[in-house]
Amino acid sequence: MSFTVRAALAERQLDVRFKVNDGETVALMGANGAGKSSVLAIIAGLVRPDHGEAVLDGRVLFGTGTVLPPHRRSVALLSQDALLFPRLSALENVAFGPRSQGIPKRAARKRALDWLAEAEATHLGARRPAELSGGQAQRVAIARALAAEPDLLLLDEPLAALDATVAPVIRRMLRRVLAGRRAIIVTHDILDALLLADRVLVLEHGRVVEQGTPKQLIAHPRSAFTAELAGLNVIGGTAAAEGLLAGGGQPGIPAGSPVAGTAVQPLEPGESAVAAFRPAAVSVFAERPHGSPRNVLAVTVDDLEPAAGHLKVRAGQLAAEVTAAAAAELDIYPGRSMYFAVKAAEVSIYPAKSA
C-alpha cells in the first residue's frame, strides 16, 4: 500500500510527483516559496491543482474525474498553529475527529484519552485552548490529528511556532508517534529531517530536484540548499576544467574567480555547479599565504561563535573552524580582513540542479 501524487498548479509554478510508502515519513524541504506548503494543501484538498492525480491505498483522492472533499480523504493536516476549537476542552478537541466519523461518544472519548496519553497531554484534557501554552496546544493538536486515524498525516512546519526550549520536546514526541506511520512533514530544520524522516525530497521552484535519506543528502549534497543544510561552505558558479568559476555575489569571491576542486560526476564546462567544503577544512591566515596549492579567499570577519570545543569564524556566507588559541594568536575579530585557504582536495564540485 502506498500514496502517490502528481500535481501541477501553474499559479504557483508547481509541478511535482512522488510516492510515500506505507509506514514511511517523508520530509519536504526547500527555500521559502519552493512550493512545499502548496503540495500539502493540494493533498489535503484545500487547493485544487490544474491537473494531476493522487491515489491513497488504491483510492483516488483527485484525478480521472474524481475530486474527494477534504473530510473524505482520510488525510489529516497539522499546521504550525494548533488551530484548536476555542470553545471545546482539549479532550473534546481530540474527540471531535472520531465523533465526526460517527464513532459513539464513549468510544470517541476513550480514543481521545488514548491519544492524549500518547502525546503526554492527559493532564491537559479539561483545559480550554486559551489555558494552554504553545507547546501544550501543539501536543493537543497532534493528538487530535492522530485520533482521526488518518491514512496519511501531513505536518506543515509543526515546530516552527514553538520556542527553542519546547521544540526539542515536541520533536522527540513526534519521533515516537510517527514511527511506522505514513506522513509528510514540511520543515526548514535539518534536525527534523534527521530525527523524523525516512526520506527527504528537496523542492526548488515547485519541482523535486533532489531526494534521498537524510544521511545521504548531508553526505552528498547536490545543491546549495542541501550543502548549507549540512553546514558546508558553498560557492556557486559554473563548472570548469579544474573545478569551478565563481558566479559572483559573495564577498571576497569576484565573479570568474577559479575555485579548484574535484567534480563528483562529469560536468560540462559552463554547466551550473556549486563548490562545497567543510568549515573544518579551512585554514585562516592574517596575511595572504604563498607557495601552497590552495584556494585562497580574501574575507572580512563578521563574527566569532563558540561551537563544540572550537570557534567558528563567520565571513559572509563562508565559515572556518579554529581553536581558541589560534583565534587569539591570529587576533581574529569582527571587521578584520583575513584570508581563508582550503586545499583543492577538500573541495567537491556538484551539479547545481534547478528548475
String of DSSP letters for 285-319: ESS---SS-EEEEEEE--EEEEETTEEEEEETTEE
Edge-to-edge strands, sheet with 337-343? 283-285, 337-343, 294-300
Predicted confidence band at 231 (pLDDT cuts at 50, 70, 90)?
A: confident
CA–CA distance, 11 with 34 (Å, rounded to integer): 13
Predicted confidence band at 293 (pLDDT cuts at 50, 70, 90)?
A: low
**Three-class DSSP category at 13:** coil
Q: What is the pLDDT of residue 200?
A: 94
Quick: pLDDT tens for 171-203: 888 988 898 999 999 998 887 888 899 999 999
CA–CA distance, 303 with 211 (Å, rounded to integer): 33
Q: What is the pLDDT of residue 165?
A: 80
324-333: long-range contacts (C-beta < 8 A, 24 or more apart)? 326/284, 330/284, 330/285, 330/286, 331/286, 332/284, 332/301, 332/304, 333/301, 333/304
In order of start, what are the domains of the chain with their CATH numbers?
2-219 (3.40.50.300), 225-351 (2.40.50.100)
- Cα→Cα distances 26→23, 42, 64, 315, Å: 10, 16, 26, 34
Quick: pLDDT tens for 81-96: 889 999 999 999 999 9
Quick: pLDDT tens for 325-347: 999 999 999 999 999 999 999 99
Beta-strand pair 303-307/310-315: antiparallel
Contact predicate 100/135, CB 8 Å: no
- What is the pTM (predicted TM-score) of this model? 0.73
CA–CA distance, 270 with 251 (Å, rounded to integer): 22
Contact predicate 66/59, CB 8 Å: no
CA–CA distance, 332 with 148 (Å, rounded to integer): 56
Quick: pLDDT tens for 143-152: 999 999 999 9
Beta-strand pair 152-156/310-315: unpaired
